[in-house]
Chains A and B, each alone.
Chain A
């Protein structure tokens, strides 16, 4: 005699026809005697019939196209992908290269990661802006420039150079690299030579009267030379001022290092 639990346990084997003859007889005997088990067997049979009649699901029309795309991406080597990365970011890939590149990135997690890393780095680099100005730097700059300008305008050297520049604009004569004191000396020496020659040729007994003139000329040359040296000294001072001014541009850190006493 079979109970409902045993009947339930054997339903599949009964439907698959794998029960022994004796088991099948007991199964059928219970089937006739129990309405609930009969209903259960009917349900299972109906469910199986439905399963076996299940129609195929229609894939989307572009499934095969997508699969071909994926397989093309898989066929690309990771090295070839890496070589295309710069061109990808420069936007100079051809349409074919672009599709291949995208397909490979889709199927290869390593390359996808590499691409994401490069993208992140480029984004970070693009966000790097200028550092903020140190507080009060603009005011310090303006003060320094005004002070240097005032000193410069007071200097007779600056006035002289300004006139010299105006003169040179009309004549490209002596080389620009010739320093001013030497140039002054050369002018004086030329004038002296000229005077000497001129007096020698035109004057009588010139030797006696000329000597004091020559001596005066040489004295004058020495004065001009001394003046030139003073000008050079003045230039040195001016250069020291400019250097001090430029030092004020250095970042605080460097200044503090300079101030630190040496061990």
Chain B
């Protein structure tokens, strides 16, 4: 195989980086507004919730599992926090902490069920997703909570400036939280023992248990961490739409999974990086924003997202096939 092809198929992240550069060039040529600071910062904020969720899903994917109940977890945690603050007058810090604990607990239930029932996690999380949503709507009567406190719904700006073109650029809480979550995830997955154990377990579960890795602990960490990030994403999302709605995030699952998979996280486990998640979000955000600026109907986004996933999976598959063929020729 020629060197250039090996570069493209060798690492999903590298291929994705190239695709992002090309897309950016095409879009900035077609729309003068695309490559402005204001547009890019807006874009980052708009995708902050997706990114936070994708960081959590990435951890579960590396462990060799999959979780689709995280939007239910996010909605539940978001609603609990809003309810405690608005209707019960609980101090914000305690309310957010309780809601975060709820997120961790719901994630841990997925881990416990997957571990003890020895069923594939997609089945477990389809079931728990249904249960979490149903209970949430049952207990809340699907009532929205509108009057969120000011700090929550109007957000906190850490930095504000006006560009030469007159656009206002604000670095807001969602952006800061998103960056913090990405940094934390990267650190945990690469610089902590539990993170390395997640990679090891995802790479070869049988061997992991043979060398004495505590598998229940690994799964509790992966699903619990996703639960925590789902809760955080839930808070951010409520702030961005100024209300807490029990079904607000229903349907976001595929978009989030798309980001992680586009970023190179393998569905069989053991493979993926935080950098890949960032690139995945960037690519999807740019595609959707670009289509928007070009005046393409937003109903068409789904088609583009789906095609991007197919392209990514095809390339990973081809890369594996070539790698296998190389091995065959080498070992003869």
Question: Do they bind each other?
Answer: no
